[in-house]
């Protein structure tokens, strides 16, 4: 749903919450409506995970597309209040009771989408409907073909299989979700470094916070 206009872009019944199915739905929406600047979500699957900075396969893809993953704080649904209100209306109008088949349920979702976007005015929109206010995103969707680039003053390292980058004779754990991807390391203070994947800050580490062993080992603090 578009936060400004409340326009409901997509509403699909799915058999599971796999990343593959979710990406398929987003590809269709991006092709139809363009690429947004950011996407706000909760912290559940497949939008986020317990990996570094809450990364998931889905959010890594968004970042590579130039879309900012924006997650609400856990247990704070009011931070996405417009979307939550839409969900309540959706459940009341189209899921109580649920349909017996996915096909029938999708027909009800499609009907709700038409009603919500084109027939139901909103007081916050001066009694206009979302379809009267919504404008598609200006950026065209295309899969990234160029490698991620960083400013010249960043140190760039490639993430290896288990999520490790080798740096200054030691190892820095980033995330296995970035296997094969370049990350950027930028010193922001004496011995303190920020770590980025593209424009997205993953976290920070201090060279003095080292786990001693056969090699120096650091992990990120978000």
Is residue 8 domain-resident? no
Q: Which pLDDT value is given to residue 214? A: 63
Q: Which pLDDT value is given to residue 204? A: 96
Sign of CA dihedral 59, 26, 4, 34: positive
Q: Are residues 125 and 212 in the same domain?
A: no
Q: Which pLDDT value is given to residue 210? A: 75
CA-CA distance, 151 to 149, in Å (whole number)?
A: 7
- Residue 177: CB atoms within 10 A of its CB come to 18
Q: Are residues 128 and 191 in the same domain?
A: no
Is residue 3 domain-resident? no
Return all residues near 76 (Cβ < 8 A) that are at least 6 apart: none
Q: Which pLDDT value is given to residue 14? A: 84
Query: In the chain, how many domains are there?
Result: 2
The DSSP bridge partners found for residue 173 are 164, 219
Q: Are residues 188 and 104 in the same domain?
A: no
Q: Are residues 34 and 98 in the same domain?
A: yes
Q: Are residues 101 and 42 in the same domain?
A: yes
Is residue 10 domain-resident? no
Structural domain range at position 70? 19-133
Q: Which pLDDT value is given to residue 16? A: 84
Q: Which pLDDT value is given to residue 213? A: 64
88-117 in b/e burial notation, b at 16+ Cβ within 10 A?
A: eebeeebeeeeeeeeeebbebbeebbeebb
Q: Are residues 36 and 101 in the same domain?
A: yes
Q: Which pLDDT value is given to residue 74? A: 81
Q: Which pLDDT value is given to residue 79? A: 79
pLDDT in tens, the chain (222 residues): 999 999 999 999 888 888 999 999 999 999 999 999 999 999 888 999 999 999 999 999 999 999 999 998 888 888 788 888 899 999 999 999 999 999 999 999 999 999 999 999 999 999 999 999 999 999 999 998 888 999 999 999 999 989 999 999 899 999 999 999 999 999 999 999 999 999 999 999 999 887 766 678 898 998
Whole-model pTM: value is 0.91
Q: Are residues 161 and 89 in the same domain?
A: no
Return all residues near 172 (Cβ < 8 A) that are at least 6 apart: 157, 164, 165, 166, 185, 195, 205, 217, 218, 219, 220
């Amino acid at each position: 749903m578009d936060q400004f206009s409340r326009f409901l872009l997509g509403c699909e019944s799915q058999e599971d919450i796999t990343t593959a199915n979710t990406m398929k739905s987003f590809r269709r929406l991006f092709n139809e409506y363009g690429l947004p600047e950011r996407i706000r979500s909760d912290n559940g699957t497949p939008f986020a995970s317990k990996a570094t900075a809450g990364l998931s396969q889905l959010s890594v893809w968004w970042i590579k597309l130039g879309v900012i993953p924006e997650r609400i704080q856990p247990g704070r649904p009011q931070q996405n209040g417009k979307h939550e209100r839409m969900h309540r209306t959706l459940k009341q109008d189209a899921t109580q009771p649920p349909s017996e088949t996915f096909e029938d349920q999708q027909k009800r979702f499609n009907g709700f989408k038409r009603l919500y976007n084109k027939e139901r005015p909103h007081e916050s929109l001066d009694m206009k409907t979302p379809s009267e206010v919504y404008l598609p995103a200006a950026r065209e969707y295309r899969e990234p073909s160029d490698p991620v680039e960083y400013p010249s003053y960043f140190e760039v390292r490639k993430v290896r299989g288990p999520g490790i980058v080798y740096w200054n004779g030691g190892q820095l754990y980033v995330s296995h979700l970035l296997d094969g991807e370049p990350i950027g390391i930028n010193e922001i203070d004496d011995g303190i470094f920020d770590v980025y994947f593209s424009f997205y800050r993953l976290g920070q580490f201090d060279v003095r916070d080292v786990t001693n062993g056969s090699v120096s080992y650091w992990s990120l603090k978000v």
